[in-house]
Amino acid sequence: MYHPEALEPIVTFLRGLGLGVEYGEGARDGFLPGVNIHAGAIHVDPDALLGPGDLLHEAGHIIVLPRRFWPLVGKDLQADIDGLLAEQTARDGVADPVLTMAARQGEFMSQAWSYAVVRHLGLPMGCLFFPGSYRYDSYEGAHPMLAWLEQGTHMGPNALADAGMTGFSGMFAFLGDNGLPPFPHMTRWTLD
């Protein structure tokens, strides 16, 4: 595992947000090696985990949902979020903007949120951005995702700012001022 020393601080942080994190066999057959989601709780197997940042990334998909939806998501996060959005829209006739954002921008939001957590905890970026993470196996210099976040060209911080979790930053700073300090500072780590 890349940067195993980052695992416990990440688990402690996630549990502090109220997110369930459990060690054991429930981590099998997840979207990423060594991490799986069951009823909104993250299951992790440190022996199979490639990097503790993968745990953060999966948590980020849950975090960008209102807390009442957390227990309703599992291994196939995108299908679960799309299903929640369709069900809520059919019931009320109006698409919930928070669920819509999570369904359409959740991947970018999770990437940016994970980056902000690593910065906040003072962990090495290599625990999140390592060879093979985010489907980048070979590159020169900084991991491409890390470079986009640090250059202010990544879409995730903008979506987090739209959700009121941070302020606008980078090339998206001109889109508005929501009165919050700019990303990567997070005013709120969860939506509620």
* DSSP string computed for 69-119: GGGG--S-HHHHHHHHHHHHHHHHSS--HHHHHHHHHHHHHHHHHHHHHHH
- The pLDDT of residue 134 is above 80: no
Per the structure, the complete domain to which residue 62 belongs is given by 4-175
Average model confidence (pLDDT) for the chain?
A: 91
- Predicted pLDDT at 153: 85
Q: Judge whether 185 lies within some domain.
A: no
Q: Judge whether 131 lies within some domain.
A: yes
Dihedral sign of CA atoms 181, 101, 171, 148 in order: positive
Compute the average pLDDT of residues 23-31: 92
CA distances from 13 to 7, 8, 88, 96, 151 (A): 10, 8, 30, 28, 26
Which helix (H) or strand (E) is 22 found in, with range? strand 21-23
Compute the average pLDDT of residues 159-180: 90
Compute the average pLDDT of residues 164-190: 92
- Predicted pLDDT at 55: 94
3-class SS at 178? Answer: coil
Percent of the chain surpassing pLDDT 70: 95
Q: What is the DSSP letter of 12?
A: H
Q: Judge whether 44 lies within some domain.
A: yes
- Predicted pLDDT at 138: 67
Tens of pLDDT, residues 31-64: 889 999 999 999 999 999 999 999 999 999 999 9
Q: Judge whether 191 lies within some domain.
A: no
- The pLDDT of residue 136 is above 60: no
- pTM equals 0.92
Strand order, beta sheet including 35-38: 21-23, 41-44, 35-38
- The pLDDT of residue 122 is above 70: yes
Q: Judge whether 18 lies within some domain.
A: yes
CA distances from 152 to 31, 48, 156, 176 (A): 28, 32, 10, 15
Number of domains forming the structure of the chain: 1
- On whether the CB atoms of residues 125 and 133 are closer than 8 A, the answer is no
Q: Judge whether 189 lies within some domain.
A: no
- The pLDDT of residue 183 is above 70: yes
The structure tokens 């959740």 sit at 106
Q: Judge whether 66 lies within some domain.
A: yes
Q: Judge whether 105 lies within some domain.
A: yes
